[in-house]
Amino acid sequence: MSRGTALITGASSGIGEAFVRLFAAEGFDLVLTARREEKLQELAADLPATTKIVVLPGDLSTTAGITTFCESVSGQSLEIDVLVNNAGMMVEQGFANLTTEQIERTITLNITALTQLIHQFLPAMKARKSGRILNVASVAAFHPVPGMDIYAATKAYVLSFSEALAENLRDTGISVTALCPGLTDTDMVDTSVAGAMPTFMISQPDEVARSGFDALMNREVICIPGNVNRLALAWSQHQPRWLVRGLGGLANKLTPQR
């Protein structure tokens, strides 16, 4: 018997794909979205035949794309029990070099889409007095990251918004979890960056998805996968902000610019 329906954004690769496989293995039906429909269809074909799957491709980095996606979900009359806001993007060539379009798309995908999807599904969850929301933030949400300026700022929004919402929804039957991974081996991470790091500092997508899933089921508000990431954040949160951002700035200067 199905444990409910989970809608997963950014389902076509990386942590999102790992979530898809895990939710299917745990007995959930799925609604999958991302831009690359063929990747979603391939993934859907690889899941257990017992999993009911709806593939709804879309671009969530424009407000028009978000509206179209919300309309197509409504058109399917789907009851969403779990919303996994995983889709995200990072642009990294230095703020001054970014185009207006790159800036808009990053903010729209990382912030607006996540916010609007919660706004879309929350009323039905409230009426049912049940629901779970998982928002993928990052360890970068906890402090400024020079060199990932906009990305880290969007993830700070995700963490702050998730915590506020979790508190607002306390005792309603609806939980909100912010998943804050550290460096994870996915397409988002430049291979030269990942290759320069010791392996113990790099998580695998399936480990991150498992931590997020368990935290979601336990209705935890913040989940930081990996001992190394938890230790680093515990240290940084007891340092003055000038020191943390200064170290980030130094690391950025020492990183080869592409």
Asked if 31 is part of the footprint of ligand NAP (rule: CB under 6 A), the reply reads: no
* Number of Cα atoms under 13 Å in the Cβ half of residue 41: 4
- Distances in Å between the Cα of 221 and the Cα atoms of 7, 37, 188 are 19, 32, 25
Of 58, 79, 73, 74, the residue nearest 10 (C-alpha) = 58
Asked if 212 is part of the footprint of ligand NAP (rule: CB under 6 A), the reply reads: no
Q: How far is CA 44 from the centre of its chain?
A: 20
Asked if 174 is part of the footprint of ligand NAP (rule: CB under 6 A), the reply reads: no
**Three-state secondary structure call for residue 86:** coil
- The answer to whether residues 118 and 80 touch, using CB atoms and an 8 Å cutoff, is no
C-beta of 141: minimal distance to ligand NAP in Å?
A: 9
Task: Determine which residue in the list 7, 15, 43, 152 makes contact with ligand NAP, applying CB under 6 A.
Answer: 15
Active site residue 157: no
Give whichever of 14 and 248 is closer to ligand NAP, judged by the CB atom.
Answer: 14
Task: Determine which residue in the list 5, 6, 7, 16 makes contact with ligand NAP, applying CB under 6 A.
Answer: 16
Active-site entry in 151, 157, 161, 213: 151
Task: Determine which residue in the list 6, 7, 14, 83 makes contact with ligand NAP, applying CB under 6 A.
Answer: 14
Q: Quick one: which H or E segment has residue 25?
A: helix 14-25
Asked if 109 is part of the footprint of ligand NAP (rule: CB under 6 A), the reply reads: yes
- The answer to whether residues 194 and 146 touch, using CB atoms and an 8 Å cutoff, is no
- The answer to whether residues 111 and 158 touch, using CB atoms and an 8 Å cutoff, is yes
Task: Determine which residue in the list 73, 83, 87, 125 makes contact with ligand NAP, applying CB under 6 A.
Answer: 87
Asked if 92 is part of the footprint of ligand NAP (rule: CB under 6 A), the reply reads: no
Q: Quick one: which H or E segment has residue 46?
A: none
Asked if 184 is part of the footprint of ligand NAP (rule: CB under 6 A), the reply reads: yes
- Cα separation of 188 and 14, whole Å? 8
Task: Determine which residue in the list 120, 138, 175, 229 makes contact with ligand NAP, applying CB under 6 A.
Answer: 138
C-beta of 226: minimal distance to ligand NAP in Å?
A: 11
List alpha helices for the chain, DSSP H: 14-25, 37-45, 63-75, 100-107, 114-128, 149-168, 191-196, 205-217, 227-236, 241-254
C-beta of 127: minimal distance to ligand NAP in Å?
A: 28
Task: Determine which residue in the list 5, 61, 120, 229 makes contact with ligand NAP, applying CB under 6 A.
Answer: 61
Binding residues (CB under 6 A) for ligand NAP: these are 10-16, 34-36, 39, 59-61, 86-89, 109, 136, 138, 181, 183-184, 186-189
